[in-house]
Amino acid sequence: MAVVVSGPGLKQRVVEIVGHVEEWQAQWGEQRDFREIASRKVALAERTGLPTDVVVSRMPWLLEEGDFLYQGGTVGESDGLTVAASGAFGQTDEAVSDIVKALIVVLCRLKVKQMREAGINRLKGGL
């Protein structure tokens, strides 16, 4: 499974790769590049501001050449943080994306709290 994170000031980053692509070959019928699929899910969500499952199932006119038709696995909302997972099926990809996004949000909030408590009120260099 590949997880890709993108947000303001970030280039797309692969967060984690779990397992080997070859292990999925029998299940998918062919080898899949989960990094590419997750990256394209992130790009679709960033472009539309919507999760990929919403675009694919309810607004397919927003799809462009090269977009995957996979539902789920991406959270792309107006908060500027987009997370996509690929390597399982839609609902699992989506759940992993939601979990990773929630972890990033809480860690950033905790860091801001910690900085304030330390008397640091101006960001230098990033969280």
What's the pLDDT tens digit per position in 47-106? 898 899 999 999 999 999 999 998 777 777 677 889 999 888 778 898 989 898 898 889
Contacts (Cβ under 8 Å, ≥6 apart) of 9: 126
Q: What is the pLDDT of residues 91-109, one digit of tens each?
A: 889 898 989 889 888 988 9
Residue 127 in any domain: the answer is: no
Domain count, the chain: 1
Residue 126 in any domain: the answer is: no
Question: What is the arithmetic mean of pLDDT over 33-57?
Answer: 89
**Residues spanned by the domain of 58:** 2-117
3-state secondary structure of 118: coil
Residue 38 in any domain: the answer is: yes
Cα distances from 44 to residues 76, 88, 93, 116, in angstroms, run 8, 19, 15, 36
Q: Is the pTM of this model over 0.85?
A: no
